[in-house]
Structure 1
Amino acid sequence: MILVHTPNPKEVSAYLELFRAAMPERQFVDLEHAQLSDIRHLVTWGLPDGLLADMPRLEALFALGAGVDKLMTRPDLPADLPVYRLLDGGMAAQMTEYIRYGVLGYQRNMDLYRRQQATGQWRKLAPRLPGDIRVGILGLGEIGSAVAQSLARDGYQLSGWSRSPKNIETVRCLHGEAGLAQLLAESQVLACVLPSTPDTRGLLNRQRLEALPQGAMLINAGRGDLLDQDALLALLDNGHLRCAQLDVFAEEPLPADHPLWRHPAVAITPHVAAITLRQPAVEQIVAGLRQLAAGLPAAGLVQRAQGY
């Protein structure tokens, strides 16, 4: 028996329909119709606290998302329970669009034109080509690699960073502390798609933000706890950073009185850069369930020491 749960009952119904069509040989149930003691596999996002303790036969958990930081800190998560995350689920294309939008806006000076509009200025700015813009991608996992390769094809000067060495076609790959320092010093646009882990929390502090070139742009579509929001505001105010496009925040929803909402150099979206698409997610999870049933390893296994 496989339990499918999200906080939205309509979403659960939609997922159940897709799972039952894709894998009719297995029994998929919602929380209302589940016998928790019989649950062997769990597909979830936003599971109620304490519920995992009521599933003694649980063999694996499939998360309906790529980021699993909140899931991994649950006190009721068994230490030996395999957890699988989505490697894409339709998110790579969306993330590429989101970051391309920000990079193109920076290249074409759209943020500056919006500020000119607010004061009634009619002033043309010098045009720039993609090859004039140095873009750095923080995070070269499945989604980050796809973003980096796509922007490289667009003609931007593209570099990417990860903690360990990577080799990605068309992407200049940097790694480690030395590589991070080099990427920051070069990036006119820094786009972050890193997950939240013990190693990444607080990564973009004031010192590292100050290492970006004068007039740089920050795009954060990873996790809110990667970024020192107060430091970002200070560097926008003193002009060291030109603008920011933010999709994730330390507290979500972002409080209505937070100064980021009203800053003229900040564009805000409500954690929508890359949303799980149901059909690709179901296809990936069904493939994983079939691999496990055949005694094979399934894709997306979370390495707990790394947090992803």
Structure 2
Amino acid sequence: MCILYMAWPSDAEQWRAAFARLAPELEFRLAPDIGDPGDVRYLIAWESSADLIERFPNLRVLYSAGAGVDQFDLSLLPAHVPLVRLVDPAMASIMTEYVQFAVLALHRDILSYRAQQTARVWAELPIIPAARRRVGVMGIGNLGLAVLERLHPLGFQLSGWNRSEKAVPGGRCYVGMEQLPAFLAQCDILINLLPLTPQTTGILNRERLDCLPMGAGLVNVGRGAHLVEADVVRALDEGRLGGAILDVFEQEPPPPEHPFWSHPKVLMTPHVASTVQIDGAVSVILENLRRERRGDALLNVVDRSRGY
């Protein structure tokens, strides 16, 4: 029995070192040195292939090497092999740090002050108290809830939008597509943390962006495909969006001619809002090994009917 890593070569030695430190009794292999494929019970990969079980006939669990799983074609995965997301508490902490920074930057007009600095303009902008700023989160899973809990002490008016009812600290949860326009209409700052599914692809298009209050701020830390990027540019140019802090994009990096690079109302970061923390990911795998031995349910198994 062994665990095989076949994802990012640049991270491979860090994974080897983590397993050697945290579980030296386990056999850990790095692709392309697979050895006997029949020994592979647990696979850490970025994506799957149609011949997965043919290659690894005794595979028990497939672990996603990233926090998301939209890169996997779930139809290619055999029903008896669970797909598991490597999400640990450190990832949530890192994500909430980024979102808190982004919300405060939009709240205190930092993008406008950056543009003023570039133009050598010295001018004060009105300060709006946090208690009068409405901040909404799309997607109230573990990360969305952690973001809401981090923002709550700052005094913002909070709300969330989700496919099912969830508790929002100090605020309201809007549910389902029928309540999406009403949710967007009261978001001075909108944070997207949705998983990417066929239902959420392109969800922030012109129609939805036009539901936002004039001058709203946008934080996208979900997936690039959630945004119709041309519609975001239009909304920025027309003033519907007053600023956007974007960490994920349809193409990464965006092509050199993309207007996001030079737009004065956009701050881009290179998909760094949160990343898999290798020690934490190995701890999830080890806990799942213990659960498997006890016959308990595994942590972070993807619900294939939902796609996340």
TM interval, shorter chain, is: over 0.9
Q: Is the 8 A contact 1:89 1:277 kept in 2?
A: no
User: Where does the alignment leave 5 or more consecutive residues of structure 1 unmatched?
Assistant: none
Q: Percent identity?
A: 39
Q: Is the 8 A contact 1:163 1:175 kept in 2?
A: yes
Q: Is the 8 A contact 1:189 1:216 kept in 2?
A: yes
Paired residue for 2:188? 188
User: Where does the alignment leave 5 or more consecutive residues of structure 2 unmatched?
Assistant: none
Report the CA distance between 1:132 and its aligned residue: 2.1
Matched position secondary structure for 2:87: coil
Q: Is the 8 A contact 1:149 1:170 kept in 2?
A: no
Deviates more, 1:223-232 or 1:278-287: 278-287
* AA partner of residue 245 (structure 2): Q
1:44 aligns with 2:24: no
Q: How does 1:132-143 map to 2 (within 5 A)?
A: 132-143=132-143
Q: Deviations over 1:237-293 (max 9, x none)?
A: 111211111111112221111111111111111111111111111111211121112
Report the CA distance between 1:87 and its aligned residue: 3.2
Deviates more, 1:115-124 or 1:14-23: 14-23
Paired residue for 2:179? 179
Report the CA distance between 1:88 and its aligned residue: 3.2
* AA partner of residue 296 (structure 1): D
CA distance in 1, matches of 2:164, 2:183: 14
CA distance in 2, matches of 1:236, 1:67: 28
Paired residue for 1:304? 304
Paired residue for 1:206? 206
Paired residue for 1:60? 61
CA distance in 2, matches of 1:306, 1:53: 26
Q: How many equivalent residue pairs?
A: 306
Cα distance, 1:265–1:168 mapped onto 2, change above 3 Å: closer
* AA partner of residue 15 (structure 1): W
Deviates more, 1:138-147 or 1:280-289: 280-289
Q: How does 1:79-98 map to 2 (within 5 A)?
A: 79-88=79-88, 90-98=90-98
Q: Is the 8 A contact 2:236 2:242 kept in 1?
A: yes
Cα distance, 1:34–1:171 mapped onto 2, change above 3 Å: farther
Q: Deviations over 1:134-171 (max 9, x none)?
A: 10001101111100111112211111111111124444
TM-score, scaled to structure 1: 0.93
The root-mean-square deviation of aligned C-alpha atoms, in Å, is 1.9
Q: Is the 8 A contact 1:87 1:143 kept in 2?
A: no
TM-score, scaled to structure 2: 0.93
Report the CA distance between 1:76 and its aligned residue: 4.5
Paired residue for 2:215? 215
Q: Deviations over 1:214-252 (max 9, x none)?
A: 000111100011111001111111112111111111122
* AA partner of residue 58 (structure 2): R
Cα distance, 1:301–1:74 mapped onto 2, change above 3 Å: closer
Matched position secondary structure for 1:90: helix
* AA partner of residue 270 (structure 1): P
CA distance in 1, matches of 2:146, 2:298: 21
Q: Deviations over 1:95-122 (max 9, x none)?
A: 1111111111122111111122222211
